[in-house]
Amino acid sequence: MLLKKLSEASGVASRENEVREIIRDDISDHVEDIYTDVMGNLIACRSTEKSGPVTMLTAHMDEVGLMITNIRKDGLLDFMKVGGIDKRILVSKVVNVGSDGIKGVIGSKAIHLQKKSERKKPIDIDNLYIDIGATSRSEAKKVVNAGDTAVFESGFEKLDNDMVLGKAFDDRTGCALLTEAAKIEPRVPTYYVFTVQEEVGLRGARQAAYSIDPDISIVVEGTTAADVPDNEEHRYSTSVGEGPALTIRDRSLISSRPLLQLLIETAERGNIPYQFRRTTAGGNDAGVIHLTREGIPSAVISVPCRYIHSPVAMMDLNDYNSSADLLKKFISETIEEGKLNK
Amino acid sequence: MIEMLEKLTGGFGPAGEESIVKEIVKSELEEHSDEMWEDKLGNLVIQRKGGDSELKIMLAAHIDEIGLMITHIEEEGFLRFTPVGGVKKKNVPHKSFVFSDGIKGTVGVEDLDNDDKLKFEKMYMDIGAEDKEEAEKLVSVGDTAVYARNFVNAGGRIIANSLDDRAGCAALVKLMQGLKESPHDLYCVFTVQEEVGCRGAKTAAYDINPDIALAVDVTATGDTPESRPREMTLGEGAAIKVMDRGSISHPQIKNLLEKLAKDAGIEYQFEVLEFGATDAHSMQLTRGGVPSGTLSIPCRYIHTPHEMIDGNDLTSTVELLEEFVSCEEISEI
């Protein structure tokens, strides 16, 4: 399953190579052209000779992770976060460092050595380190270096029902959905854009949108689902199992109404379940894409994921499949020449 | 102009849903434009072709306003919401709100131990529905409400919702209606999505690619009891912005506005604002950079349902705009 391969691949912002190669291998035979741009975005296209609105589909390849900032005398590694990670979830997690995936564990002072005040709050990054089992700086330096990135070691797994567990569903889910979409014939000129550096500030998508200059854009994301105990229903944002979530507004985007309406119609015609994203928090590549050049009408399809940005997120394969149906139906059937044109 | 301002503030127009206000502007300016179009993000552009000068001037006033988006409908028919734009939570409880189709609601708050715990999550909107089923007939998740419309002419001072920035829109409409001829090409842009981050002006400025840009917006005053110290005073004229958090006005634009005001005997004041931003922020940073500034209308109680401006300041603003877009010196910037 491609989603498994993508989820298990390592790809912190700026180190998306592994993910890029998986995608390239998977879709090269299905697309007209495929190339990597200056920023590292992987761009493929199909049906460029057709008429109709040039459509850009986007998913980001990078995931949240860590970067080594210093190697201590005793061989332990200091690190910083790359992208938004809750520091409470770091301690005692197994990580893979660098392109060779050197295994290590995030360590901290044992509980009996902690002051009473320290036990009451999450451990600060400064008091955590990655331990790769090296006993000295010189030994550690043989396999890692400052600037190496680290990701959580986390195997993809399907539970007995249709739930899957794994890391980096934000946004390998979108990457997997886009690769599926790339295998069917779109009705209009379509660009499949796998962006870099989303988690550090939507940096890759800006250049891609500028150079492609599409007429419309759809971002495909793994988004947060907060349908968990201790949260009131009105703060769920999205709910697992209720289908793809469509964005009306988030922190960085107000979706194009005509485009959103077309997505809704597509879902309803195909009996595909959907929900709205019920929060204005959060943002994604669409935030910069829609403000590129003279403006690009944009919308977002998100797959709800619990425990996002953590070592193990949970997603419902039914939501994944419904999202795939919606996206494919949209680019192969609904999108009509002229209707969303410049 | 006051009647037109009342019409404009009466229009429903949260960020992203500005079409009603656009229609009002269109009907006012149909006869006063050479060309009129909506761009891809929804900005309404009114073009007036100039004479010999090759200069392109872009004026921007935003037509959107802040609001509340419904995120959830409870079994009992209460609506939960999230802010759209810079809504202050203390300004929301027990205020009236209205949806695009006229459905009204009032905002209630859960019982809290103390006011410090006030959060949007603790508030709800009550539209009088008896249960979820009834509420869903009236309102859907994703719908947006704005402050209920109200307009008071209090002896020359106007108290109304959304004077931010329908006052600026009124100034631009009035300018266009009265403007006979200008040597320069004029693009009057009624921008969308300013309240969520000056978004419309960004793409409009890219599209138009102007030589000079000026935003027309409201600014806070320092003339109320125990206010933070601020120069701006209601009734003392159009405010020429020097800077805010989003932009520093191009010095030559600021100086030109001052000179034009002095020469024509138009009341003006300078504005320095420690927070906030206007469309000038976006326009200034577009493409290779656009010399930009802002002309402001002093306004009390911004982002509440009862904002207040002085009619004379609005008049001064229109007069100064007229001087600005028709003067020769602007070509030297």
Mean pLDDT for each 10-residue chunk of chain B (333 residues)? 96 97 97 95 96 94 98 97 96 97 97 89 97 97 97 96 98 96 94 97 97 98 95 97 96 97 98 95 96 98 97 98 95 90
Residue B156 counted as domain residue: no
Contact B84 A279 (CB under 8 A): no
Looking at the fold, whether B195 and B319 belong to one and the same domain comes out as: yes
Q: Does B203 contact A291 at a Cβ distance shorter than 8 Å?
A: yes
Q: Which residue has the tokens 């195909």?
A: A270
Residues of chain B positioned with their CB less than 8 A from the CB of A254: 15-16, 193, 196, 199
In angstroms, what separates the C-alpha of B16 from chain A's closest C-alpha?
Answer: 6
Looking at the structure, tell me whether residues B85 and B182 fall in a common domain: no
Q: Are residues B316 and B217 in the same domain?
A: yes
Last residue of a domain, one of B113, B147, B181: B147
Looking only at the bridges linking them, the beta strands covering B292-299 and B212-220 are parallel
CA distance B235 to chain A (A): 36
Q: Considering only CB atoms, which residues of chain A are within 8 Å of chain B?
A: 232-236, 248-249, 252, 254, 257, 276, 278-281, 290-297, 342
Chain B: residue whose CA lies nearest to A246: B142
Q: Are B220 and B104 found together in one domain?
A: no
**Is residue B155 a part of any domain in this protein?**
no
Same-domain check for residues B196 and B277: yes
CA-CA distance, A280 to A238, in Å (whole number)?
A: 11
A234 vs B121: CB contact, 8 Å cut-off? yes
Interface ipTM? 0.88
The pLDDT assigned to A337 comes to: 53
The answer on B96 and B224 residing in a single domain is: no
B96 and B36 inside one domain: no
The domain of B114 spans 67-147
Question: 3-class DSSP state for residue A20?
Answer: helix
Domain assignment present for residue B153? The answer is: no
Nearest to B69 among A236, A280, A294 (CB): A280
Residue A122 Cα, gap to closest chain B Cα (Å): 23
Among A338, A339, A250, A342, residue whose Cα is nearest residue A301: A250
pLDDT tens digits for range A127-156: 999 999 999 999 999 999 999 999 999 999
Task: Mark whether B263 and B326 lie in a shared domain.
Answer: yes
Asked if B121's CB is within 8 angstroms of A235's CB, the reply is yes
Cβ neighbors of B146 (< 8 A, separation 6 or more) are B12, B13, B14, B65, B66, B67, B68, B97, B98, B161, B162
Contact call for A234 and B71, based on CB within 8 A: yes
Check CB contact under 8 Å for A276 and B142: yes
B42 and B113 inside one domain: no
Q: Count of domains in chain B?
A: 2
Instruction: Check CB contact under 8 Å for B203 and A252.
Output: no
CB-CB under 8 Å, A295 with B41? yes
HSE at residue A176, side-chain half, CA atoms within 13 A, is 24
Size of interface A-B (CB pairs under 8 A): 66
Q: Is residue B154 part of a domain?
A: no
- The full DSSP string for B244-285 is -SS-B--HHHHHHHHHHHHHHT--EEEEE-SS---HHHHHHT
- Domain with residue B131: its CATH number is 2.40.30.40
Specify the long-range contacts of residues A74-78, CB closer than 8 Å, at least 24 apart: A74/A135, A74/A136, A74/A137, A75/A132, A75/A134, A75/A135, A75/A136, A75/A137, A75/A139, A75/A140, A76/A107, A76/A129, A76/A130, A76/A131, A76/A134, A76/A140, A77/A104, A77/A129, A77/A130, A77/A131, A77/A132, A77/A140, A77/A144, A78/A129
Active site residues of A: 198
Kindly state whether residues B143 and B277 are assigned to the same domain: no
Shortest Cα–Cα distance, B3 to chain A (Å): 31
For an interface test with A, which of B22, B44, B64, B69 has the most A Cβ atoms less than 10 Å from its Cβ? Answer: B69
Q: Closest Cα of chain A to B304: distance in Å? A: 21
- What distance in Å separates the CA atoms of residue B84 and residue B95, rounded to the nearest whole number? 16
B317 inside domain: yes
Residue of B84, B193, B207 with shortest CB distance to A280: B84
- Measured in angstroms, the CA of B204 and the nearest CA of chain A are apart by 6
Q: Do B121 and A249 touch (CB under 8 A)?
A: no
Instruction: Judge if B116 and B217 occupy the same domain.
Output: no
Helix, strand or coil, per DSSP, at residue A126: helix
Choose one of B107, B124, B147: the last residue of a domain.
B147
Is residue B152 domain-resident? no
**Residue from B41, B58, B78, B282 whose CB has the most chain A CBs within 10 Å, to mutate:** B41
Distance from CA of B254 to the nearest CA of A (A): 27
pLDDT of residue A342: 42
The beta-carbon neighbor of B71 closest among A254, A278, A294 is: A278
Mutant choice from A217, A232, A234, A290 vs B, greatest count of B C-beta within 10 A? A234
A245-246 and A275-276 beta bridge pairing? parallel
- pTM of this prediction exceeds 0.90: yes
> What residue ranges define each of the domains in chain A, with the CATH number in brackets?
2-63+167-334 (3.40.630.10), 65-152 (2.40.30.40)
Chain A residues with beta carbon closer than 8 angstroms to that of B121: 232, 234-235
Q: Do B207 and A296 touch (CB under 8 A)?
A: no
Contact A197, A204 (CB under 8 A): yes
Taking an 8 Å cut-off on Cβ atoms, the answer to whether A254 and B69 are in contact is no
Determine if residue B289 is left, alpha or beta; phi over 0 gives left, psi from -120 to 50 gives alpha, anything else beta. left
Residue B196 phi/psi, 5° resolution?
A: -105, 15
Q: Phi, psi at residue A156, to the nearest 5°? A: -80, 140
At which of B147, B179, B200 does a domain end? B147
* Residue the block writes with tokens 């331990």: A131
Q: Are residues B71 and B102 in the same domain?
A: yes
Instruction: Point out the residues of chain A with pLDDT beneath 70.
Output: 337-342
Which of B18, B66, B72 would best serve as a mutation to test chain A binding (most A beta carbons within 10 A)? B72
Q: Give me the CATH number covering residue B238.
A: 3.40.630.10
Catalytic residue selected from B18, B28, B65, B194: B194
Comparing CB atoms, the residue among B41, B84, B202 nearest residue A249 is B84
